[in-house]
Structure 1
Amino acid sequence: MRYASLLIPLLLSSAAVAADDLIPPAAERFSATADEVPDFQRHIMPLMGRLGCNGRACHGSFQGRGGLRLSLFGYDPKMDHEALTKVETDSGETLVNLKSPDDSPLIQYPTDADSHEGGERFEKGSWVSHLLDAWMRGKALGIEKPQRLVQLEVLPSELVFAKPGEESQLQVIAHWDDGSKEDVTCLARFKTNNEAIAEIDENGRVVVMGRGDTHVVAFYDNGVTAVPVLTPVNELTGDKYPQVAVATKVDELVVAKLRKLGVIPSDVCSDGAFLRRV
C-alpha cells in the first residue's frame, strides 16, 4: 500500500504534464504525409478562412464562385461540409474524391493558377495539401460533436517596440474545452488596424512602420484576440518619463500606456480653457 500511495501522485503528475502539452502547429505535423486525421472544426474550417476561400470576395459571397458557395467566414460548418463533400460545382463534380484524395478538385483547383479563378492558394506537396489529403483519407468527416473554444491566446500579449523597422512573430494558441491546447498560428487569420503604424503578414509576423499605437488582430474559429502594438513617439519613456500624479485607477492605466508611448499629458486646465480646446 505504501508503494501504491507513492505511485498514484506520480501518475497524476504525469497525466497533468501530458494534458498541459502544447500540440505542435499543423504546418509541422503535416509537413509530410501523416497518419493523423485532421479535425473539420479545428483544421479544415479555419484553413478555408486562412486561404480566403470563405471570404466575401470568394466562395463566401452570397452567390458563391464556380458553383461553390461557403458560409461567410465559416459561420455554418454543416453547410460548408456539405458544400465541400456533396454539392457539384459548375464542372459537374464534387470537390472531394475519397477514392483518390490527391486527385480531388479540392487540392487540384487551388494549386492550379490557370484553372482556379482565385489563383494559386497553396502549392502541391505543401503542408496544406498534405492536411487536406489526410482529411479525405480519413473519410472527410464533418463535425460530429461541436467543440468549444475556451480561449484564443496570442503571445506576446503586447508588443512594445523601440523604433520603426523592428519585427516580432506572434504565436496563436487555441484552448479547447477538453483541456487541449494547440498552436494554431498557421491556421489563423491576421489583420492590422493601422498599416501606417504596423503591418502583419499571413504568418503573424508584425513589422513596425511608424510611431504611435494600434492593434493587430488574430482570428481563429469563433475567437478574436487583439494585441496592442506601441512604438514611442520620443525618448521620454521608462525612467526618463516624468512623474505624473494619478487620482484614480483609470488614470493609472492611462498614464502607464502614455509612459510606453512617451506622451506626457497636459496640465489640468480651467473649464473655460477646456471648452475652448474642444
Structure 2
Amino acid sequence: MTTIFRPWSRLVPGFLLALSAPLFSSAEETPAKKPLNFVNDIVPILTKADCNTGACHAKAITGQRGFLLSLLGFEPELDYEQIVKSGRGRRVFPPAPDQSLLMLKAANIVPHGGGKKLDPDSEGYRTLVRWVSEGMPYGAENDPKLVGIDVSPNRKTMPVNASQALKVTARYSDGSTRDVTGMALYEANDRNMAEASGTGLVKTLDLPGNVAVMVRYSGFVSVFNIAIPLGAPVETLPPAKNFIDELVFANLKTLGIPPSPACDDETFLRRVSLDIGGRLPTVEETKAFLESQDPKKRDLAIESLLNSPDYADFFANKWTALLKNRRED
C-alpha cells in the first residue's frame, strides 16, 4: 500500500487545526463527499489530458523535464510517487491547492511546454484541486476496482453525415457504475468514414461501409460499430452454404450492397488456390477442373486444397510471421 506523503504537515499545525474547527453549527449538514481514489479518479484525468503519452511525460526513461509518468497510467504507484513525493513534494501544495505547481502547469498559468491541458473551469481541474486539498489520498485496499466499461449504443446503422452521442459507463467490483463519457478516449479506425470528438459525439462522413470507434478508459476498451448503407436495394441473395455466408450476406443486406455475381471457373480456381494453398493451380489441376461436369466441383476443389500439405505450409508461415515465432521458441 502506498503511503500518503505530506511534507507540509509540519509547517503550521496550529493553523490547520484552527481551520478544521466548525465556524457555526447547523441542523442540516451537507453529506460528506466520498474520498477520491488516485487510480479511479485522478489517473483518468491525466490520460484524458494526454499527460501520460509517449510524446509527453511518459517519454521513456526521462519523461519531460524530470517529470516521469507511466505510459497511459498503467503503473499508478509510480505516478503517485512522481506527483506527490518527487522533488520533495514541490508539485502539490494542499494549503492552497490551486497554487500547486501541478495545477499551474496544467492550466498553463506557469508556462508549460505542452501548452494548456486543463481549463480551470473543467471538471477534471476541479477534481484535481479537490484531491490535493484532501491530502492527495492514494486510496484504500478495499476501494472498488474498475472491472470493465460499456458503450451505449454499441452498434448502429447510420446514414452518411449523421451524428450519434455515445455514453460510456464504467463498472466497478462492488457493483457500482459511473458515467465516464467525458473522461473516455475515442478514435475511429477509418477517419475518412467517421470522426469522434472528445465528448463522445460520433459523426459519419461521406463514405458508406463499416467503421468502428474504439473507446478507451483506464486500460479497458469497448467498441461502437457503425454500418453506413450505400443505399442500393438488395432484392435477392444467393443461398448461404455456411455460417460465414450468413454473416456476410446479413452485412451486405444492412449496407444495401448487392453481392457480386459468381465468377467463372477459371477465376474461381485461381482465387481459391491462392487463398488456401498460397499457390497457383497446376496445368493438370486447371484442365481437370474445367473439364469436370460435376455440380459440386467447386466444393470438392476446396476440400482437396484443405487436405493438401500446401494449406498447412501456407498458413503455418502466415501465423509464424504474425506471432513472430523464432526457431528457439
Q: Alpha-carbon deviation of 1:267?
A: 3.9
Relative to structure 2, which stretch is displaced further, 205-214 or 93-102? 93-102
Amino acid at match of 1:232: P
Provide TM-score, normalisation by structure 1. Answer: 0.78
Residue 300 of structure 2 corresponds to none
- Structure 1 residue aligned with 2:172, among 161, 170, 176? 176
Alignment match of 1:234 (pick from 228, 231, 234) = 231
Q: 1:214 aligns with which of 201, 211, 214?
A: 211
Which residue of 113, 126, 131 corresponds with 2:127?
A: 131
Q: TM-score by structure 2 length?
A: 0.67
Calculate the aligned-residue CA RMSD, in Å: 2.1
Structure 1 segment 15-94 matched on structure 2, within 5 A:
35-62=33-60, 63-88=62-87, 94=90
Report the Cα distance in structure 2 between the residues aligned to 1:182 and 1:35, rounded to whole angstroms: 15
Structure 1's unaligned 5+ residue stretches are: 1-33
> What is the identity, as a one-letter code, of the residue corresponding to 1:204?
G
135, 140, 153: which one pairs with 2:136?
140
Q: What is the alpha-carbon distance in structure 2 between the residues aligned to residue 53 and residue 169 of structure 1?
A: 26
In 2, distance between residues paired with 1:130 and 1:35?
14
- Deviates most, 178-187 or 258-267: 258-267
SS of 1:272's equivalent?
A: helix
Higher helix share: 2
Residues 37/125 of structure 1: CA separation in 2 closer, same or farther (3 Å cut)? farther
Question: What is residue 152 of structure 1 aligned with on the other side?
Answer: 149
Note closer, same or farther for the CA distance 1:43–1:235 as it changes in structure 2 (3 Å cut).
Answer: farther
Partner secondary structure for residue 207 of structure 1:
strand
Hey, what's the Cα distance between the residues in 2 that align with 1:228 and 1:166? 14
Structure having greater relative contact order (Cα 8 Å, sep ≥ 6): 1
Partner of 1:11: none
Q: Is the 8 A contact 2:237 2:259 kept in 1?
A: no
Q: CA deviation at 1:113?
A: 6.3
| Residues 244-277 of structure 1: CA deviation (Å, up to 9, x unaligned) | 4223333222222221211222344455322445
Change (3 A) 1:76 1:241: farther
Q: How many correspondences in the alignment?
A: 238
Which runs of 5 or more residues in structure 2 are unaligned?
1-31, 275-329
- Equivalent pair of 2:188/2:214 in contact (CA under 8 Å): yes
Distance of aligned partners of 1:56 and 1:271 in 2 relative to their CA distance in 1, 3 Å threshold: farther
Judging changes above 3 Å, is the alpha-carbon distance between structure 1 residues 247 and 133 closer, same or farther for their aligned structure 2 residues? same
Distance in 1 of aligned mates of 2:181 and 2:127: 15
What is the distance in 2 between the residues matched to 1:156 and 1:50?
22
Matching residue of 1:266: 260
1:105 aligns with 2:104: no
Over the matched positions of the two proteins, sequence identity in percent amounts to: 29
Distance 1:104 1:241, change over 3 A: farther
